[in-house]
Chains A and B, each alone.
Chain A
Amino acid sequence: MDRRDLIKLSAILVLTLPLASVKAEKMSKRYSMVIDVTKCYGCMACVAACAGENNVPIGYFRTWVERIVKPEGNVIFVPKQCNHCENPPCLPPCPTGATYRDENGVVLVDDEKCIGCGACVQACPYGARFMNPIKGTADKCTFCDHRLKKNLLPACVEACPTGARIFGSLTEKSELKNIIDTRPTQTLKNYTNANPQIYYINLPKEADR
């Protein structure tokens, strides 16, 4: 039994309290991102851009890049971050409803409401959340929603020198939608049935962890 199926088995077996999620009234943009692994060469521009734009404290990461060394020596870099899931496991546990998803599917945290309990950090299967020591609240990638409101691109997408990160809407005509409709893509740890919305191109097997 491969390790991955076992975890899947356990996930189903588990006693889960009702995770009823009410259908959205108006799904407008459903923002998402494509990460083309073949174009990432680990220059960390996205990590620095994110830290700069959002004042992320040192040592904590809203996005990070994994380095995988193949047996014959070549190196693959895989950027990772919050997947802004369509069925986010991190939302139910929040005691005050501080973390939520907006109408475009972007998962956010309302700092005013967050009491800093860390339940959402424990609940994220992708390690994409952390407790911000300065704000005393949960912190995560926001797809730079403060920039989206001014129809600017997220900082990491703009900084990427190779075009490895493509951002856009799944429901409206966009380069992103074109890629998703025409090319094979992969998502991370599908057994979580969180339905992650970061679509990878050429995601190496070793990185699906």
Chain B
Amino acid sequence: MANNRRRVVKGIIAAASLGTFIYGYYGTVDKILRPSVTIYGPDKIDGPEVRYVYSSCLGCNVRCGIRVRIINVNGVQIVERIEGNPYHVYNRAVLPEKQIKRYNPLPYSFSARESLKYTGTLCARGQDGIHYLYDPYRVVKPLKRAGPRGSGRWKTISWEQLIDEIVNGGVIEETGERLPGIRELFTYGVLRDARFEDPNNILSRMKEDVNQILSNSSHLTFDELRKKIEEFKSKWEAELNTKGLTLSDILIDPDRPDLGTKANQIVFVRGRGQGHSDDFSQRWVAAIGSINWLRHTSSCQLGYYAGNRIWAGYTDINPDVRGAKVLIMAGAQIGRLHPGATGQGLIIERAAEGELKVYYVNPVAPRGDCNGNFIWVPIKPGTDAALAMAMVRWIIENGRYNKIFLESPNEESAKKKGEIVYTNATWLVITEDGHPRGGTFLRASDIGKGEKNQYVVVYNGELVPYDTVDEAELFYAGKVKLSTGEEVEVKTALQILKDEAFSRSIEEWCEICGVPVETVVRMAFDFTNAGRAASTYIHRGVGMQPNGEYSVWAYRTLDLLIGNYHRRGGLMARADTTNYNGALYNTGPSNFGEPVKWGPPIDRHGVAYEDTLEYWVRLKRDGNAYPAKRPWYPLTPEESYTEIFAGIDEGYPYPVKALFMYYANPVLAANFGIKFIKVLRDTEKLPLFVAITTTINETFLYADYIIPDTTYLETGTLGIQYLYASSAGVRYAEAWRVPVVPPMTMKIGEDPNGYPRYSSLWEFLIDLAKKLGTPGYGERSIPGVKETRYEGKWFPLHSIWDYIMRVYANGAVDAVKKGLIPEQVPVDDVKFVEENYWIARFKDIVPSEWPWIAYAMARGGVFTSYDESYDENGVVKRKPKRTLLEFWDEKLAMTRNSVTGQRFYGGPKYFPPATYAPIEAKTTEKWLQGTPLREIWPEDRYPFLVIMPGSPLYTKHRSQFYYWMKQIMPRNYAVLHPRDAARLGVDTGDIVKIETPNGYVETPVLVEPTTAPGIITIPVGMGRWADTAISKPEYFEIREKELKELIEAIPEKTEIPEDAVNPLKVLPEISKKTLFTKSNKEFYESSLAIDEWRFNGITLNVIASSDPSLKDWPLLSWVGASQVYFYTPAKVTKTGEKEKITFTNMIW
């Protein structure tokens, strides 16, 4: 019996063990029989299926060159690798025999095919354009919302239906809403359809009448003014009635004719536009007849632009970093500011080689120390002018300024000394307090010594017209009797600067900005000890503050004091470019028969309140026209997000009917951009909202229609890119962007030449214009340029190819004229382009210019060498933008604050950051209009300031798909100085609550001494919640009730047809696996699965500063209307929770 039982037990054990083995080992057997691994090597480098294309990068706005390697994988063209362009002045060439001191690009004449042996350097984001192109969240088909605005529900519609509904209006079937079309806003078309032969004749005469009223309104009484307006209305009512139209069909508001035609109610806003998507969209807005072509510049660098335009008459000025010996790099990020992470490599290498010393004035530590030649100067945000004034004082006290340069009062005297620019340092300014002429320059006619247009200077103690002497007193203050008998105080412009600088001791200035005195003295000494090869290299940290323009100007006085403008190592504007819009074909945004237009833009930039009818009517009626409903910004050169949306919200200066937005994300890009959602959701204030984009972001979540756009590696932002200051200090430089692979968006048809058309910004604007019948589109669209062989001829515009090939033709022909491209182009270069470039198939559009176009395309642009760009005494061979550089600006001194009606101070000066207008308590300081922010949010309640600096790893908020960077830095955090962390009792990994006046953000902390004490640094680039897929944000909460609800109303997920997204289906399996190894399959295979990397981290913008004096819209700078990013008061409290930040992720 026992035997039997033993055999049963044995049987059970045998079966059990065999079963376990099979169950446990099956996986391995399967892996042996059906291996799931695939061997792959590095990409092919040459061979029939490999091709190379030179183009320009858009990883950020710097426009470096790229060389893209495309491999044909069974019929599909796959971008395998992106390298730098060795011809481009930013990338600079690297040769096996020349790897050290990589300062020079290849000579421009170098053979294209040979250049493949060498490469240019290129930053990480440039390399990772591949994840930009192959983004599973990309939209590929036109969409229309299938639910209330912001519901996240979409349905695909045909291209024809899209165009038709936007022009003629459409219905949202799911909600029954009726969306208005833009046909009746196209005033030119309304006139034409009413059979007026020449609509522009009507419009130009009407515009003439409006100008008449405006120019006379200053000396009319209120009744006379009202009568004038009535006359205008009845005159035009009559003429329009002859064809059955009324004045309200044409004008926005017949009682305010200066607001312009109804076309202005169509607003086009572009975010990250670049060469030729800008010119083309500007041309389209002109064709519609609207004044509102607006950019994102306030969220980019408008304070820096506005500040420069005041003293130099040009927006973009920065140093030649190739020739400089000393740089004061203030408020500028390593690896971000032009020339960008790639171009700045030159700065780092020169510093490490001991050729350059950089003072890095920034609350955030520099990256690397370049043998001690990169000196960190931590500073309190918003106090840069104090630092500048301390240096100005030291320079004047020690007489280390360029006396000879400053003494020339006019251009001729400067030229005699070999100078190319001059300053108004010696001109006398009326500084009498309260005098109506206060702030203006004394004129020779004021003292009976000359004409009205002659400024006055002091020569041997005597007041003389400025153009009668070769040098004049630099410092002078005294009284002068005017011909009117009044006695007024006058000072030279430099004297005013001196008085401002000497108004505090150097110690007091240092107290304000937190920089030690000896550092300031050393900086000032080094700055003035490098001849003219020293300059200030400044950007957003300085300009994007309430006092931004004044701070920019304060720094730039240092450059004026040593006279480095337009010289090797000194300040420069942008490189000259070819005449790419007007050499042969007029591809520019004007005179192609576009409608006449007038009126202020919705964000009231570049227009003075005092030049509007509203101002004169209120002045004449009530005796005072202030405050205006929203501020006007006459001195800012470009647009502001805050005032676009505040304008739409308050219908001021007029209501908006249709908003077209392209490649932008104001809700996330602006400080406290969350407030814009209030406008975007409101179908009354914003009846039609159309978005042209690659993905549906936090702003486009509220669009009515989505038009899929292409990336820069397809046809996105195609064309010729000028380079920003100083454009590597060369004479000519422009990068050409050509399509690298055919677009991955939906094909919408072919143009009459049979060329393919794909859904993108270009084709959308063309088809919209053709549907409306605007001038400049269809058969007779692009005029030939006068005095060229195409004068009088007209060319068709049916697809992007008709336009862009003619742009290249302009560039190429002009480059030949300028001797940059040889008459006889080497045949091999043309063959190189025809073999490698997809765009070569459209060469028949411009056959005669094609060889030169190919020459430039084969090199990724037109470039000149650094050494040939200077004359013998180191002056750059460019034409200076304006030869007068200012220590005092009369126009600024005459400009008034739209709320207080007071004049602005007309010179460089330190102001504490403050609101635009005063809040209850009057301001403490003379010339300061608003209330200091630290009085509203004092240090004891908000002890910290929070800033969000850029880095070479992320480009603002549009870089969350760069997985080669995400694997290095998956999320961001708040960086806290160890002293602050100790006081708060927090350590790395603790989760804290950062509370600002507008709400709070919860984030883990990284405790490091790389941020100044009292300053919390949040590296930029994350905190997204909508990018076609949606992942509701939990890391922040807004204080204001209505906005809080809007955030809660963000839908849980997107409902979108699967075939409308994800162009990745073409990719071979290996590419998907290597590009998205860490992501789950659904993310890149099919539907919109959430990939954690796309939505993690935080952004400060959601709770950044707003202006309590202007109904809490995002805070702007007073003069330039630039978003204030770097002054967000906050307090920090511990939450007690923790999140592990491992060592390898403490990289930012």
Contact = CB atoms under 8 A, between A and B. Distances in A.
B341 A43 contact: yes
Interface string A159-201: 1111101111000001110010000000000000000000000
A73 B121 contact: no
B366 A134 contact: no
Interface in B908-922: none
B345 A146 contact: no
Interface residues of B, number: 77
Given A134-B1074, A161-B341, A55 B43 contact: yes
Q: Which of A42, A56, A135, A155 has the most CB of B within 10 A?
A: A42
Contact of A73 (B80, B120, B376): B376
Interface stretch (B753-761, B875-883, B959-967): B959-967
Contacts of B968: 44, 47, 64-65
Given A44-B965, A75-B368, A161 B1076 contact: no
B1010 A73 contact: yes
Contact of B124 (A44, A71, A175): A44
Interface stretch (B92-100, B194-202, B817-825): B92-100
B83 A55 contact: no
Interface string B64-105: 000000000000000011111000000000101111111000
A134 B1070 contact: yes
Q: Which of B94, B126, B334 has the most CB of A within 10 A?
A: B94
Contacts of A55: 40, 42-43, 1070-1071, 1074
Interface stretch (A8-16, A17-25, A33-41): A33-41
Interface in A101-160: 111-112, 116, 133-137, 142, 144, 146-147, 150-153, 155, 157-160
Given A69-B1009, A150-B45, A163-B349, A57 B1074 contact: yes
Contacts of B368: 37-42, 75-77
A113 B98 CA distance: 37
Given A41-B368, A150-B45, A153-B96, A159 B1147 contact: no
Nearest to A153: B96
B860 to A, nearest CB: 16
A203 interface: no
B348 interface: yes
B367 A160 contact: no
Given A55-B1070, A58-B1078, A39 B369 contact: no
A53 B352 contact: no
Determine chain B's interface SS by DSSP, over half rule.
loop
A29 interface: no
B967 A58 contact: yes
Contacts of A82: none
A134 B40 contact: yes
B192 interface: no
B358 to A, nearest CB: 11
A38 B369 contact: yes
A104 to B, nearest CB: 14
A168 B99 CA distance: 10
Contact of A153 (B119, B967, B1071): B119
A54 interface: yes
B370 interface: yes
Given A52-B130, A57-B1074, A73-B1010, A47 B964 contact: yes
A135 B39 contact: yes
A51 interface: yes
B39 A54 contact: no
Given A38-B371, A175-B99, A161 B123 contact: yes
Given A44-B968, A48-B124, A73 B1009 contact: yes
Contact of A44 (B99, B952, B1073): B952
Contacts of A42: 367-368, 952, 1147
A75 B367 contact: yes
B127 A159 contact: yes
A47 B368 CA distance: 17
Contact of B341 (A45, A75, A155, A165): A45
A135 B965 contact: no
A45 B1070 contact: no
Contacts of B1147: 42, 65, 67
A47 B1071 CA distance: 18
Interface string B104-144: 00000000000001011111111110100000000000000
Contacts of B952: 41-45
Contacts of A61: 967
Contacts of B176: none
A158 B84 contact: yes
A153 to B, nearest CB: 6
Contacts of A153: 94, 96, 99, 119
Contact of A39 (B46, B83, B84, B348): B348
B296 to A, nearest CB: 25
Contact of A152 (B100, B117, B335): B117
Interface in B893-940: none
B345 A150 contact: no
Given A73-B365, A74-B376, A158 B1070 contact: no
Contacts of B37: 116, 134-137
Nearest to A111: B39
A144 B369 CA distance: 29
B396 interface: no
A114 to B, nearest CB: 9
B100 A175 contact: yes
B41 interface: yes
A160 B40 CA distance: 26
Contact of A161 (B40, B121, B352, B1071): B121
B335 to A, nearest CB: 5
A162 B119 contact: no
Nearest to B1075: A58
Nearest to B103: A163
B342 interface: yes
A77 B965 CA distance: 16
B581 interface: no
Contacts of A162: 121, 345-346, 348-349, 352
A14 to B, nearest CB: 28
Contacts of B365: 69, 73-75
A47 B952 CA distance: 13
B380 to A, nearest CB: 16
B38 interface: yes
A167 B1076 CA distance: 30
B746 to A, nearest CB: 28
Interface string B993-1009: 00000000000000011
Contacts of B1075: 58
A49 interface: yes
Contact of B127 (A49, A67, A152, A167): A49
B45 A47 contact: no
A45 B99 contact: no
A142 B42 CA distance: 10
Given A45-B121, A134-B1077, A146 B335 contact: no
B953 interface: yes
A72 interface: yes
Q: Which of B352, B968, B1010 has the most CB of A within 10 A?
A: B352
A45 B40 CA distance: 23
Given A53-B43, A55-B42, A65-B1147, A157 B99 contact: yes
Question: 4 tightest CB-CB pairs across the interface, nearest first?
Answer: A161-B345, A136-B37, A48-B127, A48-B124
24 contacts: A41-B334, A41-B344, A41-B367, A45-B123, A45-B342, A47-B964, A48-B128, A49-B83, A55-B1071, A58-B1075, A58-B1076, A59-B1078, A73-B376, A74-B366, A75-B365, A75-B367, A76-B369, A134-B37, A153-B99, A158-B83, A160-B94, A161-B122, A168-B96, A168-B99
Given A36-B352, A48-B128, A159-B122, 20 more contacts: A38-B352, A38-B370, A43-B953, A45-B342, A49-B127, A53-B43, A57-B1074, A58-B1079, A59-B967, A73-B378, A75-B368, A155-B81, A157-B99, A160-B121, A162-B348, A163-B99, A163-B100, A163-B102, A163-B349, A167-B99
